[in-house]
Amino acid sequence: MAIRVWISLFLCVFALLGSVSYASESEETQSKEFVVTLDHSNFSDFVGRHNFVVVEFYAPWCGHCKKLAPEYEKAAQVLSQNDPPVVLAKVDANEEKNKILASEFDIRGFPTIKILRYGGSVVQDYKGPREADGIVSYVKKQSGPASAEIKSSEDADAFINVNNIIIVGVFPEFSGEKFENFTALAERLRADYDFGHTSDAKLLPRGDSSVSGPVVRLFKPFDELFVDFQEFDVDALAKLVEEAAIPTVTVYNKDPNNHPFVIKFFNNPNAKAMLFVNFNNDLFDSFKSKYHEVAEQYKGNDLSFLIGDVEASQGAFQYFGLKEDQIPLIIIQTSDGEKYLKPNIEPDHIASWVKEFKDGKVKPFKKSEPIPEVNSEPVKVVVADSFEDMVFNSGKNVLIEFYAPWCGHCKQLAPILDEVAVSFANDAGVVIAKIDATANDIPKGTFEVQGYPTMYFKSASGKISLYQGERTKEDIIDYIQKNRDKAAEKGPGKDEL
């Protein structure tokens, strides 16, 4: 679940009068908050007066937000001494009056951090660390020039990291339309890549050292290690960079250097092919070679490839509902969320199975817990395989909770939903239900579950709405009574479910 924003910092100047002691000044500094608190009433005016502001959108109940808060405050204090000072701010996106801001910035989880440039005219996602030193380092880099000049081989050695993607423009002079377009590209993509420029290609560690430019050289730690571009239309060049920045086969293991590429793999819009195998298996080299051949064949054909080590992929196994006895396996997830699975695959069968998928000959795979043999508790258990019958085709008014077993707020809600269900025990037209959203696939395009718990209400006539009221017995019952559709109620009674 992806996704996060931070806002601003604020510089206060203390006018110390008379004989204020050093101790009291220190106490005042320690008690001062350096993170600026913004809301709907002052947000636009404050942001409009700054060329660079970092904004955190948070919720008071969010555990990750609470963990971030002291680190964010420490970073704000350090950055207030920067030259020029850098502002960090925060917005309580859970507060009703600020929800219009959360909607404007497409806030779907907490904390979400955004970088706002030029009075808010340019908005970028913060993609840096979440501890104080890392925040300071990342924000300083983001607030400086988008591209750094490389003047010496020492500059190049320090700048071009062998584990990261680095983009360097070679220009005979730092002016003209092509250089301006390169700078515009650097501004657009600076949150994702580091940019530099030089007039001497001999300073660069790889590639033709005799070129005088203009040329854009992308250095990367995989595949061909570097690639040159002579396209200077900003949109076209951005597309070339994004394509070149994804490995032919992304490696998913415990090496932290691979993690940025794994994130980029999952964030790209292509269908995603994922081969999970034990990297210590005797056949691993064969799997890797055959899989790479297939990836080369379909490169640029809206299909991206990842190979994952079983040991590092437990989170993916839980998400997709996979089992280790299915290893080696390949799974493809399309952009609409459909999944296609081939368990216990052999190296020589990878190419033929991917071709069958591309030809539309593979049936989708659905993750589902078993349908319970007994479902007699007040809150009915729904799984993916029973969703159609129990929710869509029930002919009843159904309040369904999407939950996660580990979610503390879901555990707090559970006894309340039990009470709601008991109150409707003699009402055959209403069903209170729940589904473990971590163990079951959710119907596509109907329910948007960004956090837990999420509750939806489906009326007997089929109208679906997101429940956004208070999580109390009285409020939930009141909502059901106001939104139920008695005229359309039909189907089996409670004892038949």
Q: Which positions are catalytic?
A: 62, 65, 407, 410
Give the closest residue to 271 by CA, choosing from 305, 223, 240.
Answer: 305
Of 320, 434, 316, the closest CA to residue 381 belongs to 434
- Give dist(CA 260, CA 247) in Å, integer: 11
Tell me the C-alpha to C-alpha distance, in Å, between residue 389 and each of 380, 393, 491.
Answer: 13, 5, 11
Helix axes 63-79, 132-143, angle to 10 degrees: 60
**What's the rounded Cα separation, in Å, for the pair 79 and 71?**
12
Distances (CA, A) of 19 to 12, 23, 24, 175: 20, 11, 10, 55
Which of 198, 195, 135 has the alpha carbon at shortest distance from 165? 195
Phi, psi of 488 (to 5 degrees): -95, -5
Residue whose entry in the numeric block shows the structure tokens 């994130």: 263
**What is the distance between the alpha carbons of residues 453 and 185, in angstroms, rounded to a whole number?**
40
Strand order in 250-252's β-sheet? 250-252, 303-309, 271-277, 329-333, 339-342
